[in-house]
Structure 1
Amino acid sequence: MTPCNLKTSLIDFSSCRCDTPAPPAPAAAGGSAGQFRGQARLPRFAAPRHYELRLRPDLVACTFSGTVAITLTVTASTQFLVLNAADLSVNSTSVRFQALTPTEVVLFKEDGILVLGFAKQLPLGDGVLKMDFSGTLNDQMRGFYRSKYQYKGKERNMAVTQFESVDARRCFPCWDEPAFKAKFKLTLEVPSELTAMSNMPVANTTFAGPIKILRYQESPLMSTYLVAIVVGLFEYVEGMTVKGTRVRVYTQVGKSSQGKFALDVGVKSLNLFKDYFGTPYPLPKLDMVAIPDFAAGAMENYGLVTYRDVALLFDDKSSSASGKQKVAITVAHELAHQWFGNLVTMEWWTHLWLNEGFATWVSHLAVDTFFPQWNIWAQFLDSTTTALRLDSLEESHPIEVEIYHASEVDQIFDAISYEKGASVIRMLHSYLGADRFQTALASYIKKYAYSNAKTEDLWAVFEKETGEPVKDLMTSWTKQKGYPVINAKLKGNDMELEQAQFLLDGSSGPGMWIVPITSGCGAYDTQKKFLLKLKRDKLVIALQCGDRKKGGNFWTKLNVNGTGFYRVKYDDELGAALQNALETKKLSLMDKIGILDDAHALSIARQQTLASLLRLLYCYRGEADYSVLSHINSVTASIAKISFDATPGLAADIKQLLIKILLSPAEKLGWDPKNGESHLDVMLRPMLLIALVQLGHGKTINEGVRRFNIFIHDHNTALLPPDTRKAAYLAVMQNVTSSNRSGYDALRKVYKESAEGEERLRVLGILSSCQDKGIVLESLNLIFTDEVRSQDAYVPLRGLQTEAREIAWNWLKENWERISKTISASSLVGDFIKAIVPLFTSNAKASEISQFFATRTAPGFERTVKQSLENVQISARWVEGIKSEPGLAQTVRELLGKP
């Protein structure tokens, strides 16, 4: 089969403010096409209104050809048309605008810009631009690309599009910016036996020998990055919304039953969102498709949503409970985009968070509606914690980040745009109340339907609908990076509050926020809310919070249930009272999480000791809730990692203490599922078992190995169901060496023979989880073989242990050129850096890594390098602080019950 590799250059736009498009004046003055070289955004003297697009993909030769007729409006005097194209061959002799033939047809490859120059001024008003073009179905998982799959024992190709953010130009010449919305009418010529899908339903089909010609209905106004095409062999399951919208889930042949859960969530999501957003779903159908090769998790193309297999497919026998939950959240997220992103679209990538923050938040709202027993809002605090960690770096960025180069866009598809965006939306929702928030949001959707909006437009609608100072409040959160720590001190009957920007390196930044403060105590029926607008203010303590003089009963908690995006540092008296409330089970689940996360961050920043963090952590022994234990597990993993370098002589005792905290709930659950147990208990079991294996708990490791040895011989899934397999696989890897590799080879066999995507990822993600150099290198080098799809190239790095970090770093240095050349998506290259660099905890290593990347960064992952290096420096500072911390060893022995 002809390979489809296609080398392309990175788009490298010159610096230009994202809100300042290139002016039309130079074009009016004549000149040459060269004046448009290096433009960051397209000039506005012409805009598309309608595309007639015809494509002919060849799935054997891995090529495609096409024609496009673009109806556009010329609004200013110009001799040029400037649009986007990349990796395309444009037939210059075919180019026509009305009856005019261009005198220049110039493609600036480095900019992704196609310039058409004409001998005279173009007539104002509407006209049609036509051209023929061709390209390659590439292997880069962007633009128009090929994905490989098996059918009847043979490898087949399917054709797939992935256009977000700036890759529609790799499929057809177009105005490839979100603000240039237009209608699309698509025609596809494909082999008759294949299924071909696009955003809209098929209007009619004709046949020409072995080829069928599909003409699709005209789309509503939409941005180019949402156009979608999928061609291949599929089967589907189908459902219907209450309003009669047809919903289908397409899978590879033989797997349609695995699409039933996603179909159910999809239908429910469309029903819910039409009411929540106050606007019907705008298209006549919705298709969701599982794609074998897919760089992202999923993509919200209008009416044709594409997913990785594992993000869409669920099987009761082979999938885990956590996998089921991820499918539900991902489907709800992508379908929320049909309104928030597709119907109303950001004006430019600076406002990406409008799409991703809202979709992340509202997906949890939907899943909580469908599955209230999952307690999804408590789990949402995992997202908040992720965002707080990233946003406490000097190398963070604002939610609204200026995008100057198109090649920079990938870097902001991160926890700031998604998780922080969702968290500040949750904060606003809490401040305004559910009803006022929903009413304002529905008004925004109706006002900007089928058009584009900026963040300021959203706040204007919210202010009009609620009468609250939403713009001033939220601007302080979206236009500056970081967040505050609220220092709380008791003084008489007042609590004095002072805000300061929190940074994990222990410093304090210049930021100031309008902070929605909430406080609660007792039965949480005495909550207070107010806006902290100043650096300092006071809060009167409610009488119901207890009498300080009597002792024992007094406590108050700020940031109730973690609805605010900030941390709290309490003085000694407030902290002791809260710890007592924790031990006497007075706190809500979310407040248990918030207290621990804040203490962990303050310890890293050396504002509190590790000993005090361990004492607080010990108060959680016996905790049984999944969400709370998820955060306990994250903190224990962090402490175990840092103790490896900070206290090598004490590390074993610290691990025993961490095991002591986790062991009780793990023993209660055991390895075997129980009839009638909750979804959360099913997810909790593997999390605890994996943690105990990673901490070196011998009994858990031995039991995992025992179960694996039985499972591998007779595939006894009752003994080792999908949920607990990772724990057993990790247990096996603890004993693997180059001279004792039978367990490793058995796992490799599981990986090769499994047809289930989740199982394959489960195995691939643990193969490097040992300290043996030969095995670690063998596992990492799998990414250079046909065994690992490009989309999964980062997965083998997930299992790297601290002890193997030098092996991994040397491997990365030696293979850097190969990795950066063969993996086109900069976000995937960034995953390699994030997996390896933060394993280190010394300034010397940070200097070495910095020197290596000094000449090897690119706009797509430059920020990732800086953030990873900053994390190393923060860890180094934490290590030095722990080394000089008095009383740590005594605290550990005391909590272990040792003399």
Structure 2
Amino acid sequence: TDLILIHSNKLNYTTLDNKHIARLIASGNTHTHTHYLVIQLNGKLSRGRYQLYTEFTGELADDLAGLYRSEYEEEGVRKIVATSQMHPTHARKTFPCFDEPAMKAVFYITLIHPIGTVALSNGNETGQFAVTQTKFEPTKKMSTYLLAIIVSDYTHLYIRIWGRRAAIEQGQGNYALNVTGPVLDFFQSYYNISYPLSKSDQIALPDFYFGAMENWGLVTYRETNLLYDPVTSSIRNKETTATIIAHELAHMWFGNLVTLRWWNEVWLNEGFASYVSYLGADHAEPTWNLILLDDVHRVFSVDALVSSHPLSSKEDSIILPDQISEQFDVISYSKVHRHQKDLMYYMTGYLNHFAYSNMIGNDLWQHLEMAVEANNVSLPHPVYDIMNRWVLQMGFPVVTIDTSTGKVSQKHFLLDPDYEWLIPVRWMKSGVVQRNIWWLMEKEVVNVDMKSGSSWVLANINVTGYYRVNYDLGNWERLLSQLIAEHQVIPVMNRAQLVDDAFNLARAQLVSTNLALRTTSYLLVETEYIPWQSALNNLDYYYLMLDRTEVYQPMQDYMKKLVTPLFLHFKNITSEWTHVPDRLTDQYNQVNAIRMACTTGVTECQKLTTTWFKQWMDRPQHNLIHPNLRSAVYCSAMAAGDEAEWEFGWSQLKNATVASEASKLMSALACTSLLCFHRYLSYTLNPAMIRKQDATSVITSVASNRVGQGLAWDFVREQWEYMFTQYGVGSFSFASMISGVTARFSTTAELQQLKEFEREHSAAGFGSATLALQQALERTTANINWLQQNKQEVLDWFNSQTGQEMH
């Protein structure tokens, strides 16, 4: 060859030379889209070993990518951390390298750093050769994206949880420390492979683009995800810390020890880690009984779109850095673990076989097939045949059961009806669980057992399968009657599923909207979190579509009627809000009760939250609002308050020393009905006011307020060019911003604006938001159609429910 191609981005070369044959090197330039440094040689290389020597500089920018700068203030002093985020394609911004996951290497790192700072990397320090020079042990053989380099004046706890000195001294790292040991122990035993490294460092950074990153031996986190303050953090913050630590530590084996070959199969890393993170966290906190339901419902909504994508794409369809970034979505993280569950027990041989190397999805199926045969497990088809139908095609099926004939059929939900899956169906009849898993393998089949007569049939028990279920109208009626008469007979996960399936089947016009709305009537007597959360998630869509129309008030009246008993239930079991409920799910549902009661106008709730907030304003050093309730209370008080409340919230945000508290205030400031939005939105372009990592969530919070939505959309349109070019990939989550500001779009005018936005900025492009923009266009079109078809029916139904007693 007379060319050398190596990845490089935003590096300036002062020397580009070859120590053996200097005349070889002629020139180098970097291609902006591919990030290739192209080195043109004077002649063709002959077979042999060459050494390329470069000297280069790069800017320690605050762009949250590669090696970057993070700033914070401690005791009035401005401090700087040099930290890194190499994943997925930013190692090349730190040094020239072959920046692809299949190209693994051993890294020898020495860092030169200022006196008084600590240097960290993946391996243990082997010594300081000068006050300012730290050398690290060679890493294991690994991919570039897992490398980490940090220089700070942080301090740490044993097992080494690192954070700002003040945060560690206040005990904010203690919970992470207590969880890490049990989680690592669990994974060592679960994988039956010892932890592969000599140390485990975890560090909380003030500025960080992702939630966390699994760098091998030096895991980086947003402060909100690692630090937990028992005084101000909520139980939700605590669960987040436990599950994210478990997710990242799961990667130490699955992802780091064994790595995907290319970014077209991100699910091999992320889907698995998402699933086992719940097992690890459950081991560390066994009383919580963690549930994966939120993940399932979230992925269902995206996977029903035409612009969804299969878990595995062709390698050559994912080439550019922006295409790689797009792969890290809810599909890759949450879809796969519905199917992995039954196959997880057989992972050890697979991990041992591919340790320190790379694999593709088919390697996994092969090893699972061997394990299935060795363990005499009975499956109706080979593993690859079952799994490839889920992995190589996007979307999921709806299984329809006609209990009058026993006919069971499947079709692709919302999309192309020609796909077929192999579906494990677990089911019950009138409360009695049927013993055998029944496999649906054809488009349509008759299962006589499912003819029900006067009984009801319920499929997908505890929602272990990744599919929706529809029934004949008679069976739906019997299920609704059962919910009203004695809802506990139906398992709690399935009560949530019935609501979620009905609403989504209605959106696909497979059942009536009326039927979907009727599934919520029984909530008058429901106190469990999961069904309530499912209903609120689905009614959120109704609010988005209808809260700027005449349907809004009747809907509010209905929701107020529905939530009042729940609000009184929690008032009762907490002895007038003086105690915290014991169960995790009750603590979560108490928040739902207060949030919904206040937003629908339950006077007692509004009086409660404004009183609590006023007490805090009177004594700013004494916030007596329980951490679990703060998000709901802050939001309610901001909505009811005026400028004084907003200014107080803003001053508390600026002075917050705990990241999770700052996050709660940041969301609540967008709940106001005042026109502080212009000012708040403008702060997102000033990192001194709102950190770059938080800018996107502030913009989407404003957009989620029906008063602020239009302003947020105008702001994004006006500032797109600036944000996209100045802030770039490492700062703004452009995909979630596009999804957030367009969520309410339901008119032809809004669709037109979206198309104009796409046309206007097509030259600059949309980067990692390209897919999100396509999904927004598709979703807006669907919303327009939904509104035309359903608005009157929904208005009539809500009016009928609030005009008379519900039954």
Partner of 1:892: 800
Matches of 2:513 and 2:128, distance apart in 1: 69
Deviation at 1:405, TM superposition (A): 1.8
Deviations 1:553-578 (A, max 9, x none): x1221111111111111111221222
Matches of 2:539 and 2:741, distance apart in 1: 20
Is 2:427–2:461's contact at 8 Å kept on the other side of the alignment? yes
For 1:372, give the aligned amino acid. P
Bigger drift between 368-377 and 315-324 goes to 368-377
Is 1:236–1:249's contact at 8 Å kept on the other side of the alignment? yes
Deviation at 1:519, TM superposition (A): 1.6
SS of 2:671's equivalent in the other structure is coil
Identity %: 26
Listed as ranges, the matches of 1:695-714 within 5 Å are: 695-714=600-619
Are 2:489 and 1:586 aligned?
A: yes
Are 2:361 and 1:455 aligned?
A: yes
Partner of 1:656: 557
Are 2:331 and 1:416 aligned?
A: yes
Are 2:651 and 1:749 aligned?
A: yes
Listed as ranges, the matches of 1:194-343 within 5 Å are: 194-207=117-130, 211-238=131-158, 247-256=159-168, 257-343=171-257
For 1:259, give the aligned amino acid. G
Is 1:486–1:500's contact at 8 Å kept on the other side of the alignment? yes
Is 2:155–2:165's contact at 8 Å kept on the other side of the alignment? yes
Bigger drift between 463-472 and 179-188 goes to 463-472
Partner of 1:366: 280
Matches of 2:212 and 2:550, distance apart in 1: 46
Matches of 2:627 and 2:77, distance apart in 1: 28
Listed as ranges, the matches of 1:671-682 within 5 Å are: 672-674=577-579, 677-682=582-587
TM-score after normalising by structure 2: 0.93
Are 2:525 and 1:600 aligned?
A: no
Change (3 A) 1:128 1:250: same
Change (3 A) 1:605 1:771: farther
Are 2:413 and 1:502 aligned?
A: yes
Which of 665, 668, 673 lines up with 1:766 in the alignment? 668
Matches of 2:800 and 2:118, distance apart in 1: 63
Which of 98, 104, 107 lines up with 2:29 in the alignment? 107
Matches of 2:411 and 2:803, distance apart in 1: 33
Matches of 1:885 and 1:626, distance apart in 2: 28
Which of 379, 387, 390 lines up with 2:302 in the alignment? 390
Matches of 2:766 and 2:240, distance apart in 1: 32
Is 2:497–2:534's contact at 8 Å kept on the other side of the alignment? no
Deviation at 1:371, TM superposition (A): 2.1
Change (3 A) 1:97 1:539: farther
Matches of 2:470 and 2:51, distance apart in 1: 63
Partner of 1:684: 589
Listed as ranges, the matches of 1:478-493 within 5 Å are: 478-492=391-405
For 2:434, give the aligned amino acid. T
Matches of 2:263 and 2:36, distance apart in 1: 18
Matches of 2:435 and 2:601, distance apart in 1: 43
Is 2:554–2:795's contact at 8 Å kept on the other side of the alignment? no
Bigger drift between 79-88 and 164-173 goes to 79-88
Deviation at 1:147, TM superposition (A): 0.3
Partner of 1:694: 599
Listed as ranges, the matches of 1:499-538 within 5 Å are: 499-503=410-414, 508-522=416-430, 524-538=432-446
For 1:605, give the aligned amino acid. A
Matches of 1:676 and 1:881, distance apart in 2: 42
Structure 1: runs of 5 or more not aligned: 1-77, 239-246
Matches of 2:304 and 2:42, distance apart in 1: 56
Deviation at 1:673, TM superposition (A): 4.4
SS of 2:221's equivalent in the other structure is strand
Deviation at 1:89, TM superposition (A): 1.4
Is 1:606–1:878's contact at 8 Å kept on the other side of the alignment? no
Partner of 2:349: 443
Deviation at 1:685, TM superposition (A): 1.8
Which of 467, 474, 477 lines up with 1:576 in the alignment? 477
Matches of 1:676 and 1:483, distance apart in 2: 37
Is 2:636–2:671's contact at 8 Å kept on the other side of the alignment? no
Is 1:596–1:617's contact at 8 Å kept on the other side of the alignment? yes
Matches of 1:97 and 1:535, distance apart in 2: 66
SS of 1:82's equivalent in the other structure is strand
SS of 2:4's equivalent in the other structure is strand
SS of 1:747's equivalent in the other structure is helix
SS of 1:691's equivalent in the other structure is helix
For 1:452, give the aligned amino acid. N
Are 2:722 and 1:818 aligned?
A: yes
Which of 834, 843, 861 lines up with 2:739 in the alignment? 834
Is 1:98–1:127's contact at 8 Å kept on the other side of the alignment? yes
SS of 1:728's equivalent in the other structure is helix
Matches of 1:697 and 1:395, distance apart in 2: 40
Partner of 2:376: none
Deviations 1:289-347 (A, max 9, x none): 00000000000000000000000000110101000000000000000001111000000
Matches of 1:858 and 1:890, distance apart in 2: 40
Partner of 2:101: 178
Is 1:618–1:895's contact at 8 Å kept on the other side of the alignment? no
Matches of 1:541 and 1:113, distance apart in 2: 62
Change (3 A) 1:193 1:538: same
For 1:409, give the aligned amino acid. I
Deviation at 1:86, TM superposition (A): 0.8
Deviation at 1:129, TM superposition (A): 2.8
Are 2:705 and 1:801 aligned?
A: yes
Partner of 1:621: 524
Question: Which structure has the highest helix share of the two?
Answer: 2
Matches of 2:618 and 2:77, distance apart in 1: 28
Is 1:107–1:115's contact at 8 Å kept on the other side of the alignment? yes
Partner of 1:376: 290
Is 1:106–1:116's contact at 8 Å kept on the other side of the alignment? yes
Is 1:606–1:881's contact at 8 Å kept on the other side of the alignment? no
For 1:214, give the aligned amino acid. T
Matches of 2:334 and 2:671, distance apart in 1: 28
Deviation at 1:356, TM superposition (A): 0.5
Partner of 2:269: 355
Is 1:662–1:692's contact at 8 Å kept on the other side of the alignment? yes
Change (3 A) 1:520 1:754: same
Change (3 A) 1:898 1:674: closer
For 1:486, give the aligned amino acid. V
SS of 1:315's equivalent in the other structure is coil
Deviations 1:850-882 (A, max 9, x none): 122223232421111111222222222221122
SS of 1:734's equivalent in the other structure is helix
Change (3 A) 1:500 1:715: same
Is 2:267–2:336's contact at 8 Å kept on the other side of the alignment? yes
For 2:83, give the aligned amino acid. V
Deviation at 1:167, TM superposition (A): 0.5
Deviation at 1:894, TM superposition (A): 6.4
Matches of 1:673 and 1:460, distance apart in 2: 56
SS of 1:619's equivalent in the other structure is helix
Matches of 2:774 and 2:165, distance apart in 1: 44
Are 2:542 and 1:639 aligned?
A: yes
Deviation at 1:442, TM superposition (A): 1.1
For 2:92, give the aligned amino acid. R
